[in-house]
Protein backbone atom coordinates (compact mmCIF):
# COMPACT_ATOMS: atom_id res chain seq x y z
CA UNK A 1 0.00 0.00 0.00
CA UNK A 2 1.34 3.44 -0.99
CA UNK A 3 1.89 5.74 1.97
CA UNK A 4 -0.11 8.96 1.89
CA UNK A 5 1.92 12.18 1.88
CA UNK A 6 1.06 15.87 1.85
CA UNK A 7 0.65 17.23 -1.66
CA UNK A 8 -0.77 14.01 -3.10
CA UNK A 9 -3.95 14.19 -5.20
CA UNK A 10 -6.77 11.99 -3.89
CA UNK A 11 -10.51 11.34 -4.13
CA UNK A 12 -12.97 9.99 -1.55
CA UNK A 13 -14.70 6.61 -1.84
CA UNK A 14 -17.59 7.88 0.33
CA UNK A 15 -18.37 10.62 -2.20
CA UNK A 16 -17.97 8.48 -5.35
CA UNK A 17 -14.69 10.28 -6.21
CA UNK A 18 -16.61 13.42 -7.24
CA UNK A 19 -13.93 15.98 -6.30
CA UNK A 20 -10.15 15.89 -6.56
CA UNK A 21 -8.38 17.03 -3.40
CA UNK A 22 -4.78 17.74 -2.45
CA UNK A 23 -3.65 16.43 0.93
CA UNK A 24 -2.88 19.40 3.17
CA UNK A 25 -2.23 17.81 6.58
CA UNK A 26 -2.19 14.29 8.05
CA UNK A 27 -3.10 13.81 11.71
CA UNK A 28 -2.84 10.16 12.77
CA UNK A 29 -5.75 8.53 10.87
CA UNK A 30 -7.39 11.79 9.77
CA UNK A 31 -6.50 13.88 6.70
CA UNK A 32 -7.25 17.56 5.97
CA UNK A 33 -8.02 18.09 2.28
CA UNK A 34 -8.10 21.14 0.03
CA UNK A 35 -9.87 21.05 -3.33
CA UNK A 36 -7.39 21.03 -6.20
CA UNK A 37 -9.53 23.37 -8.33
CA UNK A 38 -12.42 24.18 -5.98
CA UNK A 39 -12.10 26.40 -2.90
CA UNK A 40 -13.34 23.62 -0.62
CA UNK A 41 -11.86 22.29 2.62
CA UNK A 42 -12.78 18.85 3.95
CA UNK A 43 -11.49 16.09 6.20
CA UNK A 44 -11.59 12.33 5.79
CA UNK A 45 -10.25 9.15 7.38
CA UNK A 46 -7.23 7.69 5.62
CA UNK A 47 -9.12 4.54 4.57
CA UNK A 48 -11.64 6.68 2.64
CA UNK A 49 -8.99 8.05 0.28
CA UNK A 50 -7.92 6.83 -3.14
CA UNK A 51 -4.70 8.14 -4.65
CA UNK A 52 -5.40 9.56 -8.10
CA UNK A 53 -3.62 7.53 -10.82
CA UNK A 54 -1.16 9.41 -13.04
CA UNK A 55 -3.29 8.93 -16.17
CA UNK A 56 -6.29 10.45 -14.37
CA UNK A 57 -4.17 13.40 -13.24
CA UNK A 58 -3.11 14.14 -16.81
CA UNK A 59 -6.70 13.79 -18.09
CA UNK A 60 -8.19 16.16 -15.52
CA UNK A 61 -5.39 18.70 -16.04
CA UNK A 62 -6.21 18.80 -19.74
CA UNK A 63 -9.94 19.16 -19.04
CA UNK A 64 -9.46 21.96 -16.51
CA UNK A 65 -7.01 23.77 -18.77
CA UNK A 66 -9.55 23.68 -21.59
CA UNK A 67 -12.30 24.99 -19.30
CA UNK A 68 -10.09 27.80 -17.95
CA UNK A 69 -9.00 28.83 -21.44
CA UNK A 70 -12.63 29.02 -22.56
CA UNK A 71 -13.48 31.45 -19.73
CA UNK A 72 -10.36 33.47 -20.49
CA UNK A 73 -11.31 33.79 -24.18
CA UNK A 74 -14.84 34.87 -23.24
CA UNK A 75 -13.47 37.59 -21.00
CA UNK A 76 -10.97 38.83 -23.60
CA UNK A 77 -13.73 39.06 -26.21
CA UNK A 78 -15.93 41.04 -23.83
CA UNK A 79 -13.04 43.34 -22.88
CA UNK A 80 -12.21 44.00 -26.54
CA UNK A 81 -15.82 44.96 -27.27
CA UNK A 82 -15.86 47.29 -24.27
CA UNK A 83 -12.59 48.88 -25.37
CA UNK A 84 -13.84 49.44 -28.93
CA UNK A 85 -17.09 50.99 -27.67
CA UNK A 86 -15.18 53.27 -25.29
CA UNK A 87 -12.79 54.35 -28.05
CA UNK A 88 -15.70 55.17 -30.35
CA UNK A 89 -17.33 57.28 -27.62
CA UNK A 90 -14.13 59.23 -27.02
CA UNK A 91 -13.68 59.95 -30.73
CA UNK A 92 -17.09 61.63 -30.75
CA UNK A 93 -16.34 63.73 -27.68
CA UNK A 94 -12.63 64.67 -27.94
CA UNK A 95 -10.39 66.47 -30.44
CA UNK A 96 -8.48 64.02 -32.62
CA UNK A 97 -5.05 65.19 -31.47
CA UNK A 98 -5.68 64.55 -27.76
CA UNK A 99 -4.24 61.34 -26.34
CA UNK A 100 -5.80 59.66 -23.31
CA UNK A 101 -4.28 57.77 -20.39
CA UNK A 102 -5.73 55.22 -17.99
CA UNK A 103 -5.36 54.78 -14.25
CA UNK A 104 -5.35 51.03 -13.52
CA UNK A 105 -7.19 49.73 -10.47
CA UNK A 106 -4.95 48.35 -7.74
CA UNK A 107 -5.95 44.88 -6.48
CA UNK A 108 -5.16 43.36 -3.09
CA UNK A 109 -5.79 39.61 -3.21
CA UNK A 110 -5.59 37.88 0.18
CA UNK A 111 -5.79 34.10 -0.06
CA UNK A 112 -5.76 31.25 2.43
CA UNK A 113 -4.11 28.92 -0.10
CA UNK A 114 -0.62 29.54 -1.50
CA UNK A 115 -1.18 27.36 -4.57
CA UNK A 116 -4.46 29.09 -5.47
CA UNK A 117 -2.84 32.49 -4.89
CA UNK A 118 -0.08 31.66 -7.36
CA UNK A 119 -2.61 30.50 -9.97
CA UNK A 120 -4.69 33.65 -9.49
CA UNK A 121 -1.70 35.97 -9.81
CA UNK A 122 -0.76 34.30 -13.09
CA UNK A 123 -4.28 34.94 -14.41
CA UNK A 124 -4.29 38.56 -13.17
CA UNK A 125 -1.07 39.12 -15.09
CA UNK A 126 -2.52 37.55 -18.27
CA UNK A 127 -5.45 39.95 -17.94
CA UNK A 128 -3.13 42.93 -17.50
CA UNK A 129 -4.10 43.76 -13.91
CA UNK A 130 -1.90 45.19 -11.17
CA UNK A 131 -2.13 42.90 -8.14
CA UNK A 132 -0.59 42.51 -4.70
CA UNK A 133 -1.01 38.90 -3.56
CA UNK A 134 -0.70 37.95 0.11
CA UNK A 135 -1.08 34.53 1.75
CA UNK A 136 -2.96 34.68 5.06
CA UNK A 137 -4.60 31.65 6.73
CA UNK A 138 -8.36 32.14 6.97
CA UNK A 139 -8.42 32.29 10.78
CA UNK A 140 -5.90 35.16 10.74
CA UNK A 141 -7.73 37.31 8.17
CA UNK A 142 -9.48 39.56 10.75
CA UNK A 143 -6.11 40.20 12.42
CA UNK A 144 -4.22 41.15 9.24
CA UNK A 145 -6.81 42.91 7.08
CA UNK A 146 -6.51 46.46 8.43
CA UNK A 147 -2.71 46.72 8.19
CA UNK A 148 -2.72 45.25 4.66
CA UNK A 149 -5.34 47.72 3.41
CA UNK A 150 -3.49 50.66 4.94
CA UNK A 151 -0.23 49.48 3.40
CA UNK A 152 -1.45 48.66 -0.13
CA UNK A 153 -4.34 51.17 -0.46
CA UNK A 154 -6.28 49.02 -2.97
CA UNK A 155 -9.35 49.89 -5.01
CA UNK A 156 -10.34 46.21 -5.17
CA UNK A 157 -10.03 43.73 -2.29
CA UNK A 158 -10.32 39.93 -2.55
CA UNK A 159 -10.72 37.92 0.66
CA UNK A 160 -10.80 34.22 -0.09
CA UNK A 161 -9.38 30.78 0.66
CA UNK A 162 -11.30 27.65 1.66
CA UNK A 163 -14.67 27.09 3.26
CA UNK A 164 -17.32 24.39 3.64
CA UNK A 165 -20.77 23.92 5.11
CA UNK A 166 -21.18 21.09 7.63
CA UNK A 167 -24.77 19.85 7.96
CA UNK A 168 -23.97 18.26 11.30
CA UNK A 169 -23.18 21.66 12.85
CA UNK A 170 -26.49 23.35 12.08
CA UNK A 171 -28.75 24.68 9.33
CA UNK A 172 -27.47 26.58 6.30
CA UNK A 173 -28.66 29.80 7.97
CA UNK A 174 -26.31 29.26 10.93
CA UNK A 175 -22.92 30.86 10.27
CA UNK A 176 -21.37 28.59 12.93
CA UNK A 177 -22.00 25.62 10.58
CA UNK A 178 -19.33 26.92 8.17
CA UNK A 179 -15.59 26.32 8.48
CA UNK A 180 -14.33 29.80 7.67
CA UNK A 181 -17.24 32.11 6.76
CA UNK A 182 -17.06 33.88 10.13
CA UNK A 183 -13.45 34.88 9.44
CA UNK A 184 -14.35 36.21 5.99
CA UNK A 185 -17.28 38.17 7.47
CA UNK A 186 -15.20 39.77 10.21
CA UNK A 187 -12.48 40.71 7.71
CA UNK A 188 -15.07 42.34 5.42
CA UNK A 189 -16.52 44.33 8.35
CA UNK A 190 -13.08 45.66 9.26
CA UNK A 191 -12.34 46.55 5.65
CA UNK A 192 -15.64 48.45 5.39
CA UNK A 193 -14.83 50.38 8.57
CA UNK A 194 -11.79 51.74 6.71
CA UNK A 195 -13.57 52.33 3.38
CA UNK A 196 -17.36 52.61 3.99
CA UNK A 197 -18.32 53.44 0.39
CA UNK A 198 -19.21 50.44 -1.78
CA UNK A 199 -17.71 52.28 -4.75
CA UNK A 200 -14.55 53.44 -2.97
CA UNK A 201 -13.41 49.88 -2.29
CA UNK A 202 -14.92 46.94 -4.18
CA UNK A 203 -14.79 43.73 -2.14
CA UNK A 204 -15.11 40.11 -3.20
CA UNK A 205 -15.30 37.66 -0.30
CA UNK A 206 -15.92 33.97 0.24
CA UNK A 207 -14.99 30.51 -0.97
CA UNK A 208 -16.76 27.18 -1.54
CA UNK A 209 -20.19 26.95 0.10
CA UNK A 210 -19.69 30.22 2.04
CA UNK A 211 -22.66 31.99 3.67
CA UNK A 212 -23.41 34.50 0.90
CA UNK A 213 -25.97 36.59 2.79
CA UNK A 214 -23.68 37.27 5.76
CA UNK A 215 -20.85 38.40 3.49
CA UNK A 216 -23.09 40.82 1.57
CA UNK A 217 -24.56 42.23 4.81
CA UNK A 218 -21.03 42.70 6.17
CA UNK A 219 -20.22 44.94 3.20
CA UNK A 220 -18.98 42.80 0.31
CA UNK A 221 -19.93 43.90 -3.22
CA UNK A 222 -19.62 40.33 -4.51
CA UNK A 223 -19.54 37.05 -2.64
CA UNK A 224 -20.06 33.30 -2.71
CA UNK A 225 -22.04 31.07 -2.51
CA UNK A 226 -25.81 31.75 -2.96
CA UNK A 227 -26.68 28.07 -3.42
CA UNK A 228 -23.87 26.87 -1.09
CA UNK A 229 -22.09 25.16 -3.96
CA UNK A 230 -18.38 24.92 -4.68
CA UNK A 231 -16.66 27.70 -6.61
CA UNK A 232 -13.62 27.45 -8.85
CA UNK A 233 -10.27 28.69 -7.58
CA UNK A 234 -10.05 31.30 -10.36
CA UNK A 235 -13.59 32.71 -10.11
CA UNK A 236 -12.58 35.69 -7.90
CA UNK A 237 -10.16 36.85 -10.61
CA UNK A 238 -12.89 37.13 -13.26
CA UNK A 239 -15.09 39.10 -10.85
CA UNK A 240 -12.19 41.48 -10.18
CA UNK A 241 -11.30 41.83 -13.86
CA UNK A 242 -14.86 42.80 -14.75
CA UNK A 243 -14.86 45.47 -12.03
CA UNK A 244 -11.43 46.75 -13.06
CA UNK A 245 -12.27 47.08 -16.76
CA UNK A 246 -15.79 48.49 -16.48
CA UNK A 247 -15.69 52.28 -17.12
CA UNK A 248 -16.07 54.47 -14.03
CA UNK A 249 -19.31 56.05 -15.27
CA UNK A 250 -20.98 52.66 -15.80
CA UNK A 251 -22.42 50.02 -13.50
CA UNK A 252 -20.71 46.65 -13.36
CA UNK A 253 -22.96 44.18 -15.15
CA UNK A 254 -23.44 41.35 -12.67
CA UNK A 255 -24.89 39.08 -15.36
CA UNK A 256 -21.71 39.53 -17.42
CA UNK A 257 -19.61 38.57 -14.39
CA UNK A 258 -21.53 35.36 -13.90
CA UNK A 259 -21.25 34.59 -17.60
CA UNK A 260 -17.45 34.70 -17.48
CA UNK A 261 -16.89 32.74 -14.28
CA UNK A 262 -16.50 28.98 -14.17
CA UNK A 263 -19.25 28.64 -11.54
CA UNK A 264 -22.14 30.93 -12.49
CA UNK A 265 -25.03 32.39 -10.51
CA UNK A 266 -25.44 29.46 -8.14
CA UNK A 267 -21.96 30.00 -6.78
CA UNK A 268 -21.53 33.78 -7.08
CA UNK A 269 -23.62 36.91 -6.68
CA UNK A 270 -23.41 40.58 -5.81
CA UNK A 271 -24.93 44.04 -5.73
CA UNK A 272 -24.88 47.02 -8.09
CA UNK A 273 -21.47 48.67 -8.09
CA UNK A 274 -19.63 51.24 -10.18
CA UNK A 275 -16.74 50.31 -12.47
CA UNK A 276 -13.15 51.36 -11.80
CA UNK A 277 -11.71 51.90 -15.29
CA UNK A 278 -10.76 55.60 -15.25
CA UNK A 279 -9.60 57.57 -18.29
CA UNK A 280 -7.85 60.95 -18.25
CA UNK A 281 -6.44 63.57 -20.64
CA UNK A 282 -3.98 64.61 -21.82
CA UNK A 283 -1.39 61.88 -22.04
CA UNK A 284 2.12 63.28 -21.51
CA UNK A 285 5.40 61.51 -22.29
CA UNK A 286 7.65 61.23 -19.25
CA UNK A 287 10.95 63.07 -19.65
SS3 232: strand
CA distances from 164 to 43, 65, 167 (A): 10, 25, 10
What is the pLDDT, as a whole number, of residue 160? 96
CATH topology of domain 71-280: Rossmann fold (3.40.50)
What is the pLDDT, as a whole number, of residue 1? 53
What is the pLDDT, as a whole number, of residue 220? 97
What is the pLDDT, as a whole number, of residue 232? 84
Angle (nearest 5°) at CA 154 between 149 and 156: 115
Closest CA to 108 of 127, 94, 121: 121
Q: Are 43 and 85 in contact (CB under 8 A)?
A: no
Q: What are phi and psi of 261, to 5 degrees?
A: -75, 165
What is the pLDDT, as a whole number, of residue 53? 83
Mean pLDDT, consecutive 10-residue stretches, the chain (287 aa), reads 80 87 86 84 88 79 71 68 62 64 88 91 88 96 97 97 91 93 98 95 95 97 93 86 88 80 85 88 62
Delimit the domains of the chain by residue range: 9-52, 71-280
**Could you tell me which residues come within 8 angstroms of residue 139 by beta carbon, excluding any fewer than 6 positions away?**
180, 183
Q: Are 222 and 272 in contact (CB under 8 A)?
A: no
Full-model pTM: 0.83
Amino acid sequence: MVKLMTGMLVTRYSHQHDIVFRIQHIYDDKVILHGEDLRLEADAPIEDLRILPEKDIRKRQEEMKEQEEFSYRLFRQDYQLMKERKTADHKKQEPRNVKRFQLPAKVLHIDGDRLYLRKCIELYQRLGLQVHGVYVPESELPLEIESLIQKIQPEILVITGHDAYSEGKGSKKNIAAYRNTRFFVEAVRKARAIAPSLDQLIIFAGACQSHFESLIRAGANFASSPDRINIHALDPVYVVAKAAYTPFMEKINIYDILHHTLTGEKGLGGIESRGLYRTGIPFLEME
